[in-house]
Structure 1
Amino acid sequence: MQQESLTLSDFYHQFPKADLHYHLLGGVRLNTMLALADKYNVELSEIDAKCYYRAHQEETGKMKGGIEALTLLYSLMRAPEDYFQVLVEVAEDAHACGVKYIETFWNPSDLPSEYANMNYQTVTDALAEAIEHVEHTMGLVIRLIPSINREKSPEAAIDMVNDMIAYPHPYILGIGIDYKEHNASVEKFWKAYRLAEQHHYRLTAHCSEFGLHWRNVETGIELINIERIDHGYTIIDNPELTEKYAQKGVPFTVIPSNTYYFKQWPEHKDWCQKHPIRAMAKAGLNIIPCTDDWHIHNTTSANCYRVMVEDFGFDLDSLRVMMLNSIDASWITEQQKQQWRISWSEMFDSLRAKLTTEPVIPQEHLIQYRR
């Protein structure tokens, strides 16, 4: 019997993955945004909605940022069933790309205060119901990371953590922090992080995302006890710290579709050569490719790994290492990690054996990432 063959596109879609840096509302489909606006009689034309989605940038002539998209979407999510719907749609899209596990951020402090039914407990229950539905129907596991909106006050962050403490849930694993970092580095929110740590929540943070100083990563790790860094690209500007965190194995969730670097190097060739993800890998840092804002960024998990190979020059052995990195850096139980290390490796190797061809990468561009 002739062995089934796979194209590289098939392979990118089918091998198992974990996405540890996924903003729930960044995965809202365009049609869902429009439907929510219609449901609540919010004036939003299709062309205005498309401005939030990179896929339509040429059509609209402008691109509003991901943060602006999240701000709008939180104002449109006015009932628990909206969160249920969005999480299920996120799971459907991820499942089609071989994703087996997601840790997704959402921002409780952005719930619209004018709707009394939209509180932390109600939304957590809606998301938990969706998680159970998804796991039962698709086998995809999703867990939640309430995230601090750093554009709001440190006191609002403490309120969020107190809500978590008052209503603990097994699907809530830890806290994060996101939104614009420029005037709100992570140490500003040390009390919220300290409180979360005292109640045994895991800690992650967006640091040094927009070309900002590597000091934000150092502060997060050394002072706040952050265990996983989201973005963190400018750490490579400090070779001593880079080596230290490489040796410690600090996980960095990196985003090939990061908007800042698209703007830095609009020429595709420059972007491929100069993106800091390449330097981070060469330095031996523990990197995990993630999608960040799936539909807003016009990417998928399959495309994320395709870019790592076809644009950044990683070989397929490197993808296998990154896949295992994603398991190790996850906040799932150790028992589940052990099972996935075995089953995902077997699946990766089995699928790879069916490839009709492996990618051909010029030697001068090739990265063989081995940790």
Structure 2
Amino acid sequence: MKTRSLTQFYQDIPKLDLHYHLLGGVKLSTMQALANKYQVPLSEEDAKSYYRQYQIPGAKRKGGIEALTFLYRIMREPVDYQTVVMEVAEAAKASGLRYIETFWNPSDSAISYDILHPALVEAADLAEQTFGVIIRYIPSINRETSPEIAVEMIEEVIQHPHPYVLGVGIDYKEQNAPVENFWKTYRLAELNGLKKTAHCSEFGLHWRNVETGIELIGCDRIDHGYSIVDNPELMHKYALSGVPFTVIPSNTYFLMQWPNNTEWQQKQPIRMMAKAGLNIIPCTDDWYIHDTDSANCYRVMVEELGFDLDAIRQMIENSIDAAWVSEQQKLTWKKEWLAEFDHLRAQLIEEPMIDASLYTPYQKLSQ
């Protein structure tokens, strides 16, 4: 008997999130508690201004980067980070999320890496034991600081190696800090066996930032990368190469660019990336800051951006392939999780109705 609703399906299917900022998982109540703990002034109005779900049209608005900057300032003890990791894992389990690779910025933290790193490892172990959610870490460059600070950061990471620390990333405002400024940090990371990813062409910036991230820096993945649609030839090249692009269906820039929902649906570059055959991987970015979760991420991909469930299954397989885990682990997850996806799909009361005007087929290209 078929009894499963689409809402339940989005929640239950096994999912991975390879583009998620750890402090983006701080609840409003947790932010307020941390501010109170360290006696940092924070009115309820100011706190809510960081969170999309509480923002009032026309009111003063703060974005995700401002939220992360504030949180790094008020998280002053390892236990603060451990609390957040556990809250993230609990929310992940409720959303059907099994595996997370999460960014955090060591150079922004008030706690030295040698002290905070073991606490994060301990929290990841406890999260897996308690909730069955695997959390791994990607120390990330704050590109609004100097390349020299970034080098100092990666040298600290290299001095304290651990299998839970998988690679290096770069985030924050890209406009005046292209990824090539930080080539030395990436070179050191590569020489020490770390993977590489980078936020590129996130805010409508030029496609050459993606090209630089792949061709010059040698990134294993690209985070965002939407402006690649402005260069069809290069987009086709990367579709053939299979380089993964972690895309965010709740991306703030595009929601602000096209506040009319219908226009946003039609113009969202994720759909064009899929049609070109790019290896796209839906991710959440910041759960509480963006008022989303992993289940909602996949709901948007289907109900707002027009993908069918075959495409969703392919994207989950893409996520497994792009995860920075062993090949044996990937094979195990593909066998178990994709079979689970098929089983859950077979229980659906009905498949989603795809609007032909929105429908975006996805075809995985090969050379």
Using the alignment, how far apart are the partners of 1:368 and 1:262 within structure 2? Answer: 22
Aligned residue for 2:232? 239
Shift of 1:47: 1.4
Kindly report which structure 2 residues correspond to 1:270-309, keeping only aligned pairs within 5 A, or say none.
Answer: 270-309=263-302
Contact 1:186 1:205 in 2 (8 A): yes
Shift of 1:63: 2.0
Normalization by structure 2: what TM-score?
A: 0.98
Using the alignment, how far apart are the partners of 2:82 and 2:356 within structure 1? Answer: 47
| Candidates 33, 36, 49, aligned match of 1:35 | 33
Residue deviations 1:214-265 (CA, integer Å, cap 9, x gap) = 0000011001111100000000100110000000001000001111101110
2:138 equivalent to 1:145: yes
Contact 1:256 1:308 in 2 (8 A): yes
Amino acid in structure 1 at the alignment position of 2:302: V
Aligned residue for 2:3? 5
| Candidates 357, 360, 366, aligned match of 1:367 | 360
Aligned residue for 1:85? 83
| Candidates 342, 346, 349, aligned match of 1:349 | 342
Shift of 1:212: 0.1
Aligned residue for 2:250? 257
| Candidates 315, 322, 325, aligned match of 2:315 | 322
Aligned residue for 1:228? 221
Contact 2:2 2:349 in 1 (8 A): no
Contact 1:317 1:368 in 2 (8 A): no
Shift of 1:340: 0.2
Aligned residue for 2:72? 74
Contact 1:314 1:368 in 2 (8 A): yes
Kindly report which structure 2 residues correspond to 1:152-167, keeping only aligned pairs within 5 A, or say none.
Answer: 152-167=145-160
Using the alignment, how far apart are the partners of 2:207 and 2:304 within structure 1? Answer: 25
Using the alignment, how far apart are the partners of 2:233 and 2:104 within structure 1? Answer: 34
Shift of 1:122: 1.3
Using the alignment, how far apart are the partners of 2:262 and 2:121 within structure 1? Answer: 43
Shift of 1:62: 2.9
Residue deviations 1:85-116 (CA, integer Å, cap 9, x gap) = 0000011111101100000000000012xxxx
Using the alignment, how far apart are the partners of 2:343 and 2:195 within structure 1? Answer: 34
Aligned residue for 1:168? 161
Aligned residue for 1:115? none
Aligned residue for 1:55? 53
Percent of aligned pairs sharing the same letter: 63
Residues paired across the two proteins, number: 364
- Is the partner of 1:357 in helix, strand or coil? coil
Shift of 1:59: 7.2
Shift of 1:273: 0.8
Contact 1:157 1:189 in 2 (8 A): yes
Contact 2:107 2:149 in 1 (8 A): yes
Shift of 1:4: 5.7
Using the alignment, how far apart are the partners of 1:59 and 1:91 within structure 2? Answer: 31
Using the alignment, how far apart are the partners of 1:4 and 1:135 within structure 2? Answer: 32
Residue deviations 1:46-69 (CA, integer Å, cap 9, x gap) = 111000000011278232011000
Instruction: Could you tell me which runs of 5 or more consecutive residues in structure 1 were left unpaired when the two chains were aligned.
Output: 113-117
- Is the partner of 1:277 in helix, strand or coil? helix
- Is the partner of 1:351 in helix, strand or coil? helix
Contact 2:265 2:358 in 1 (8 A): no
Q: Specify whether residues 160 and 279 from structure 1 end up closer, same or farther in structure 2 by C-alpha distance, changes over 3 A only.
A: same
Contact 2:26 2:84 in 1 (8 A): yes
Kindly report which structure 2 residues correspond to 1:18-33, keeping only aligned pairs within 5 A, or say none.
Answer: 18-33=16-31
RMSD of aligned C-alpha atoms? 1.0
Aligned residue for 1:331? 324
Using the alignment, how far apart are the partners of 1:177 and 1:147 within structure 2? Answer: 5
Contact 2:179 2:212 in 1 (8 A): yes
- Is the partner of 1:104 in helix, strand or coil? strand
- Is the partner of 1:58 in helix, strand or coil? coil
Using the alignment, how far apart are the partners of 2:326 and 2:117 within structure 1? Answer: 21
Contact 2:2 2:346 in 1 (8 A): no
Using the alignment, how far apart are the partners of 1:258 and 1:269 within structure 2? Answer: 15
- Is the partner of 1:160 in helix, strand or coil? helix
Amino acid in structure 1 at the alignment position of 2:259: P
Amino acid in structure 1 at the alignment position of 2:279: N
Shift of 1:121: 1.6
- Is the partner of 2:138 in helix, strand or coil? strand
Amino acid in structure 2 at the alignment position of 1:92: E
Contact 1:147 1:175 in 2 (8 A): yes
Kindly report which structure 2 residues correspond to 1:102-113, keeping only aligned pairs within 5 A, or say none.
Answer: 102-112=100-110
